[in-house]
Amino acid sequence: MTTTHHLHLAVALDGAGWHPAAWREPGARPGELLTAGYWADLVARAESGLLDFVTIEDALALQSTGPNRHDDRVDQVRGRLDAVLIASRVAPLTRHIGLVPTATTTHTEPFHVSKAIATLDFVSEGRAGWRAQLSKPLENPHFGRRQVPTLPEPGPDGGLPSPDEIATVFADAFAEAEDFVTVVRRLWDSWEDDAEIRDAATERFIDREKLHPVDFAGRWFSVRGPSIVPRPPQGQPLVTALGHASVPYRFGARTADVVYITPRDAGQAGAAVEEIRAEQRAAGRADETVHVFGDLVVVLGATASAAEGRRGRLDGRLGAEYTGDAPVFTGTAAQLADTLIELSEAGLTGFRLRPAVLPDDLDTVVDALVPELRRRGAFRDAYRADTLRGLLGLPRPANRYAATAR
């Protein structure tokens, strides 16, 4: 199966990998998960495959098997480093790949996130992004200032609420997140590009008239501005969001540059893309490029039977079949290429792959999947832009306040 358009590829980095038993694999490095070198190696490996960007998972609570409370398991990875700080540490060690850490919109403030991601954009020279994520209920007790909805517990049959039911419970939180992103974007624009004069002879470092208050007043936030960080190199760093149902699709279509979805097949992918495009038009963004990426957990092998054997070994150590919010692909790089191209024909413009085991499945993505896609004309052979927005074909936006001033 071949294609005539290039796909975008990202990888989602999380601990030792997305499978809970990944840390017990022979090639895993569990003793290094809290070291800078571990993350630098992973991102450098992804960059060697010419991937568009990496995302780095984060949360404000320990990992757990349930969303409402901490568990008592000792056989799975617990503990992580701050994703934004990881990205800032790795940025000077890389040259092309985008860096997209996760930061929550629930127990933080837009001002803090805006300056952190803007700083990352300066440190990386225009390769920063942000994955906007709602907090889970189990994060609430760490702050004590507020409560957010709690998901219903599994019923007697063990069944969990559907993605649509979950999104409905969190509808207010998504509305808050929309305001959060709006404030962050306004703060990024609160300095005009030429606000810094830096002229010692005239004793003028900045043009104060080119710093603008954002004056946002809403249900959740009242923010004056301007930012303390000048306008980032990209103007607007990349904003990304994950969605599984209509409410988060709407959030992504209104606020993000990349929306991740978790399609089980091409039909589901096409329906989600169509829904996101409709919400994009309703939000007045019809003329903007909003990428829709498919998320897949990947367990890869040189042969299909080898991949199945790896997954069987991992599930055996877990004591159950691993399932998550995204589908799990198990097979060869060539079979994965078939799947990605088929899903792209439903309207997806790229994919965020979640390696089941790090670095093993990341290595296979770089060494086998990327060459296979390139052979089929579906992936580039070099980096052809200096910024993350450029890699994704996104323009550098005009500053909204500069236009108002004129």
Give the tens place of pLDDT for each residue, 230-256.
999 999 999 999 999 999 999 999 999
Backbone angles phi, psi at 285, to 5 degrees: -110, 25
Q: State yes or no: 265 annotated in a binding site.
A: no
CATH superfamily to which 8-405 belongs:
Luciferase-like domain (3.20.20.30)
How far lies 79's CA from each of 15, 38, 63, 82, 88, in Å?
9, 15, 7, 10, 19
Does the structure show a pLDDT above 70 at 170?
yes
Look at residue 314 in the predicted model and tell me its pLDDT: 98
Does the structure show a pLDDT above 60 at 291?
yes
Does the structure show a pLDDT above 70 at 405?
no
Give the tens place of pLDDT for each residue, 342-394.
999 999 999 999 999 999 999 999 999 999 999 999 999 999 999 999 999 99
What the block records as the tokens of 46 is: 């992804």
Least confident residue range of 14-18, 29-33, 137-141? 137-141
Look at residue 343 in the predicted model and tell me its pLDDT: 97
Look at residue 162 in the predicted model and tell me its pLDDT: 77
Give the tens place of pLDDT for each residue, 101-145.
999 999 999 999 999 999 999 999 999 999 999 988 888 888 876
Give residue 157's pLDDT band: very low, low, confident or very high (50, 70, 90): low
Domain ranges of the chain: 8-405
Q: State yes or no: 339 annotated in a binding site.
A: no
The pTM for the full model equals 0.94
Provide the strand spans (E) within 163-312. Answer: 196-199, 204-206, 216-217, 222-223, 238-242, 258-261, 291-300
203: phi > 0 → left, psi -120 to 50 → alpha, else beta; which? left
Pairing relation of β-strands 204-206 and 196-199? antiparallel
